[in-house]
Structures are given as structure tokens and as C-alpha cells.
Amino acid sequence: MALTNDAPGRAPRPDLSPVQDPEAPAEPSALRTFLRRRWTLPILSVVVFLIVWQIVGMNLNPILLATPGSVAVALGELVVNGQLGFAFLRAMGALGAGFGIAAVVGIGVGLLMGRSIVAYRVINPYVSFFQATPLIALTPLVVIWAGIGFPAEVVITFLLAVWTVIINTSEGTRNTPPILLDMASVYHAKESSVVRNVALPHAVPYIFAGLRIALGKALIGVIIGEMSISLQGLGGLIVDFGDSFQTAKLLAAIITSSIVGVVGTIIIEILRRYIAPWSQTVDRGKL
């Protein structure tokens, strides 16, 4: 029986086969029951990892690898002196602006491409081109256009995120079942109604899948933008701490940037449940 079975306290299967080994225990041991609990293994895995990290770190030069303990201390320090809080909010701001605009523009353009074959053919070459381009390379150009500062970082974030949203939205829209489109034309639905009631709802799961991927790219845009343009915020801290070999603080800043991503993902998930409760198929087993 698999250990990954996540039904807690599940009754053992009735044994219908003739008894072969009278010595075999009838009930699974307490340890096995404990291990089968849903959260046991993930937590155990993390705890073991942290312990190994701590032991290895204690035996290495702290510049090479800070221990989890010292990272926690550094995190506390940076929170107390306000550096991290400010950097966190700045990153959330750049992410919110860049990713937010990318989501709105991406969904709009994607719907247009999904519903109009002309628009698709006109726009698709650019989408393919930019999707395949390492857009970080555009950073110098963006700085020339937008100057050094927050706006340039928002532009970079937007540029990294928007293509995925466009592609997923247009694919989701183009994949609307033809029978539903036939149905809509039988009932004389206007294009606006087809988009609102048929194509867009059908594309919603695709769109949210795209948003989640785009969020990761946008966060890269935020951090790289801060690292290479303004040297402020989380990216700025990462450069500073890295350059001055403060490994514990460096890791604390990196962990904070993942928290930005986690918060973003949670916001997207809440939005999805609110906007499209029917697309909740993924967590059906959770209850």
C-alpha cells in the first residue's frame, strides 16, 4: 500500500483472501498510521532538510553558506530595522503594476486573437517572437525609453509577463467547443455575448494557468529590474548583501522575494475562486 495515501484514518481493506501468514499483524502499526497522514511527510521532509542544512552550514565558512538559524536572525534584524518591509512593499508595488497591466492587456489581446482569425494572423508573429526572446536583454533599451527608476521596472515586469497571458487566453478562446459556438449562433447571440458568455468562461481555466506562469516571470522582471536599474528594493538589497558577502542577509532577502511570489499566487487563487468557482476541479479531493 502506498504511503502517499492521503485519506487520514482510512480503515484497512477487509482481507478476503484466505489467511496465509498467521504471524502478520492485523492492524497497521501506530508509526505507519502517523506516516500516512497528509501533512506528515511534507513537514518531516522540510525539517530534515533544515537540520542537514544547519549541520553542513555550521561546518562551513559562513560566507559560503549561512545556517538556517543565522538566516532567521538576519531576517528578524532586517524586519525590525524596516529595510525588508520597505523592499517587500516596493516589490509588491512593481509586481502589482507590471503584472496587473500584463493581465489586463494579455487577456484583452488574447480574446481578440482567439475570436478573430485576422487579428490572430496579424498579432501572432510578434507574440511568437517576443515569447522566444530573452526579454531581459531589452533592459538597457527600456532604461533609455523610461529612464532609471520605478516606471522602467514596471515596463520590464510587464514585458516578461504579458506574452504568456496572451498565448494562454488566445488558446483557451480558440479551443471553445464548436458545438457551443453553433449553439450561440442558433440563438442569435451577438459577438459581445459570445465573448462574455461562451468564449471567456471557457478560457478561464487556461487564463488562470497562464496567470500563474506569468506571475513567476513577472517576479523575475521585478527582481532583475531592481538589481540592474534602480538598485533599490529587494533586488537592491540582494546586490548589496551579495557584494558585501553578507550571506545570511542575502538569503533573507531571497526568501522575502519568494514570499512576494507566494502572496501573488494566493491572490490569484482567491480571484479564481471568486470569479470562476466552476473551474475548481483541481482541489476536489480536499474538502
Partner 1 sequence: MSIATATPAIQVTGVTKTFSRPVERSARSRRRGAQSATEAITTGGDVFTALQDIDLSVGKGEFVSLVGASGCGKTTLLRMMSGLIARDSGEIRIDGRLVNGVPSKVGFVFQEPALLPWRSVHDNLAFALEYKQLPPDEREAVIEDKLKLTNLLEFRNSYPHQLSGGMQQRAGLARALATDPEVLFMDEPLSALDAFTRRRLQQEIASIIEASGATCVLVTHDVDEAVFFSDRIVVMGARPGRVTELIDVPFPRPRTQVELLGNPEAAQIRDRVLELVLGLG
Are 247 and 63 in contact by the 8 Å Cβ rule? The answer is: yes
| Closer of 203 and 253 to partner 1 (Cβ) | 203
Q: Which three cell numbers stand for residue 25?
A: 499483524
Q: Which helix (H) or strand (E) holds 268?
A: helix 247-275
| Closer of 80 and 183 to partner 1 (Cβ) | 183
| Closer of 108 and 177 to partner 1 (Cβ) | 177
Type of residue numbered 72: A
**Interaction of residue 174 with partner 1, rule CB under 8 A:** yes
Kindly write out the interface string for residues 176-215 of this chain, putting x where it contacts partner 1 by CB under 8 A and - elsewhere. Answer: -xxxx-xx-xxxxxx--x---xx--x--------------
Other CB atoms within 10 Å distance of the CB of residue 4: 8
Q: Which three cell numbers stand for residue 230?
A: 534602480
| Closer of 39 and 187 to partner 1 (Cβ) | 187
| Closer of 11 and 287 to partner 1 (Cβ) | 287
Minimum distance, C-beta of residue 178 to partner 1, in the bound complex (Å)? 5
Type of residue numbered 46: V
**Interaction of residue 175 with partner 1, rule CB under 8 A:** yes
Other CB atoms within 10 Å distance of the CB of residue 56: 11
Kindly write out the interface string for residues 219-238 of this chain, putting x where it contacts partner 1 by CB under 8 A and - elsewhere. Answer: --------------------
Residues sharing a CB contact under 8 Å with residue 273, sequence separation 6 or more, in sequence order: 280
Kindly write out the interface string for residues 87-126 of this chain, putting x where it contacts partner 1 by CB under 8 A and - elsewhere. Answer: ------------------------------x---------
# residues contacting partner 1 (CB under 8 A): 21
DSSP 1-52: --TT---TTPPPPP--SPP--TTS-SS--HHHHHHHSTTHHHHHHHHHHHHH
Are 95 and 218 in contact by the 8 Å Cβ rule? The answer is: yes
Instruction: Say how far apart CA 124 and CA 3 lie, in whole Å.
Output: 47
| Closer of 199 and 229 to partner 1 (Cβ) | 199
Task: Considering only residues 257 through 276, tell me which ones interact with partner 1, judged by CB under 8 A.
Answer: 276
Minimum distance, C-beta of residue 185 to partner 1, in the bound complex (Å)? 6
What does the binding site for partner 1 look like in residue numbers (CB under 8 A)? 117, 174-175, 177-180, 182-183, 185-190, 193, 197-198, 201, 276, 278
